[in-house]
Structure 1
Amino acid sequence: MNKNTIIFEALSRKPRQSLLQILSLALLLLLLAGCGAESSQKTQSSVPAATQAPETETITITDMLGRRLELEGPAQKIIALQASEVEILYALGAGDQVVGIGEYCNYPAEAMEKEVLASGSGTSIEAIIELEPDLLIMGTMDQSDAQIAQLENAGIKILVTDPQDLAGTYTAIQLIGQATGRFEEAEKMIGSMKTEFAAMQAKAADKQKAMQGEGARTIYFEVSPLEYGLWTSGRGTFMQEITDILGVKNIFDDLDGWLEISEEQVIQRDPDYIVTISMNFGEGPSPEEEIMGRKGWQDISAIKQQQVFHGDSDQLTRPGPRLVDGAQALYAYLYGE
């Protein structure tokens, strides 16, 4: 079971799930885990037209676990269990090819009109088989090896994605584009994401030049609140890559992956900015207020300067096209645009 995938799933569940339920599950797994904080108001660009391969053309795909599968033409009845996969499918214009989604998927809104299926430990093999999909797209945490074998024995083709960084995100988009007959759309999407990131990086570099002499500004990503144990992102994650693009320094870039850290470590490393992606359910203090009011944190630069930003957890934790939106929102906060 992959740590990063668990984090994405737990951080992105529907608001109807209580934060305690989500993070209690995560703690049982020794970390956090896609879908569910408040949806972004920013919509995707117009749905691209399909570039379909001939129906009789066999499509051979090697997924992100190195598993080889063959499809007799583009998949027309797809089940996708992770939020990022659903977002990619709809952004590619393949929404009409989707027949079922995982229970925690919430974007785009029209996806929620599809058949909703339990995922993870609650997966119903019978419910998946009943929909007769010609492709099931899933992440590394969705099912056990035994469940996968049961599904494959029932004749269901399975495509596994496992993106951990931006390169992995692009690979997942390519694979889904290939499986749906929308490879050109996938390449355009990847090209657009790379262009947007490059533009942000260039603007951030210009800003940094204008701020010469101030030193590199530092940032701390909080992906789990103090109440349930602090978790953050280190190197080898797409959050780290976004930090690099935006010209700021992650205070935990000397550590790998998604990791649990202590209050003392945050205080000692003294970030200039704190970014929280905890969900806000409208009860009690907001995530920003909770951080600002923590005992012993009052001397952290970000607290003294009131530089605590509540990022959209869906955008910043789902490895898909909306990572660009999350990065743009963070850029606007950092540079006042």
Structure 2
Amino acid sequence: MKKWKQYMWLLALVLTLGLAACNSNAEPAKETKQETKTEEVAFPVTVKDAVGDVTIEKEPTKIVSLIPSNTEIAYALGLGDKIVGVSDFDNYPEDVKNKEKIGGMEFNVEKIISLQPDVVLAHASSAHNAEEGLKQLKDAGITVIVVPNATSFNDVYASIELIGKATGKAKEAADVVQQMKQKIDTIAEKAKEVKEEATVWVEVSPAPEIYTAGKGTFMDEMLTIIHAKNAAGDQEGWPMFTEEDAVALNPDVIITTYGYYTPNAVEQVLARPAWKEVPAIKNKRVYDVNSDLVSRPGPRLVEGVEEIAKVVYPDIFK
């Protein structure tokens, strides 16, 4: 059962963070063909995705999303009524329950084609494993947009702008990005009240294979925003730690992100014999946060920053 849980965590991580070996340095969305002087997008329009230039001939009326982050962005742009298919992993917003499911890591090409979408929103994190399927969709006359990997807030802003431009929602995309930036600025301003920086250990997978978040992750950027120190901030990406090495970091706060499949995650961490002298354990400062809010590259990342701020500095962020 533990191996299955570890597999599910790794699968979720690939889906939400794009850790697969693919083009993580793709340029942000950039419109290269615009035929209007107004704020509204005129079609056809050409955008640059993770693969290259893609031309959308007309404003999409039917959209299929292959990954939850794309779906959340599309809904935030007011495209919910145009979404006709989503992945098996989609869980937000509530309306996704009413959409056709098109599969998980291996999507159902025939099902997608039967939905007759104008556009399929794919993602660079899984595109390299789905080249044949994506080619079949393109051969069927469906426009495929491969959204680049995102490992920072700026990357997420670019993804939102890309999807907005490709679907005729450029203004809405600009509004969403602006709202996110304003909320981040508000949180950062509040964080200036922090007198003593807390050291935080982020645990994204439990023992025996303990993984944490290092540099180049949303969690690390979130901790920086709220003036907290990432205990593993000198590591890159998603390193695995031994229990001994993790304990040696002596964190003031421990945050877990796997409570969705380990309901008693906090209790398990608090009960670890080897951690009993760690300040976070002694002071019972162990918290679980919704992994979607701190790892899924979409508009709700701002909520993730707020959640982290509240548990790390409860006296400031009430």
The TM-score range, normalised by the shorter chain, is 0.7 to 0.9
- 2: CA distance between counterparts of 1:261 and 1:272? 18
- 2: CA distance between counterparts of 1:269 and 1:254? 11
Q: Secondary structure at the match of 2:232?
A: coil
What's the CA shift for 1:282? Answer: 7.6
1:125/1:147 contact within 8 Å kept: yes
Alignment correspondent of 1:159: 145
Cα distance per residue 1:210-231 (max 9 Å; x no partner): x2xx4x310011111114x111
- 2: CA distance between counterparts of 1:163 and 1:270? 30
Alpha carbons of 1:19 and 1:174: their partners in 2 closer, same or farther (altered >3 Å)?
A: farther
Kindly indicate whether residue 235 of structure 2 is the aligned counterpart of residue 260 of structure 1.
no
1:220/1:274 contact within 8 Å kept: yes
Alignment correspondent of 1:150: 136
Q: CA RMSD in A?
A: 2.1
| Bigger mean CA deviation after superposition, 79-88 or 272-281 | 272-281
1:1-337 equivalences under 5 Å are 21-24=4-7, 32-34=13-15, 53-54=41-42, 57-63=43-49, 65-121=50-106, 123-139=107-123, 140-141=125-126, 143-161=129-147, 162-206=149-193, 208=194, 211=195, 214=196, 216-227=197-208, 229-280=209-260, 286-336=264-314, 337=318
Alpha carbons of 1:60 and 1:196: their partners in 2 closer, same or farther (altered >3 Å)?
A: same
Cα distance per residue 1:208-260 (max 9 Å; x no partner): 2xx2xx4x310011111114x11111111111110100100001111111222
- What letter matches 1:272 in structure 2? D
TM-score (norm 2): 0.85
- 2: CA distance between counterparts of 1:224 and 1:281? 10
- What letter matches 1:297 in structure 2? W
1:165/1:237 contact within 8 Å kept: yes
- 1: CA distance between counterparts of 2:225 and 2:8? 32
Q: Secondary structure at the match of 1:255?
A: coil
Q: Using the aligned pairs only, state the percent identity.
A: 32
- What letter matches 1:128 in structure 2? I
What's the CA shift for 1:291? Answer: 0.5
TM-score (norm 1): 0.81
* Gap runs ≥5 in structure 2: 17-38
What's the CA shift for 1:279? Answer: 2.6
- 1: CA distance between counterparts of 2:67 and 2:2? 19
Aligned residues: 290
| Bigger mean CA deviation after superposition, 254-263 or 238-247 | 254-263
- 2: CA distance between counterparts of 1:158 and 1:22? 32
1:193/1:324 contact within 8 Å kept: yes
Q: Secondary structure at the match of 1:170?
A: helix
Q: Secondary structure at the match of 1:296?
A: helix
1:59/1:74 contact within 8 Å kept: no
- 1: CA distance between counterparts of 2:9 and 2:262? 22
Cα distance per residue 1:74-108 (max 9 Å; x no partner): 22211001111111111111111111000110111
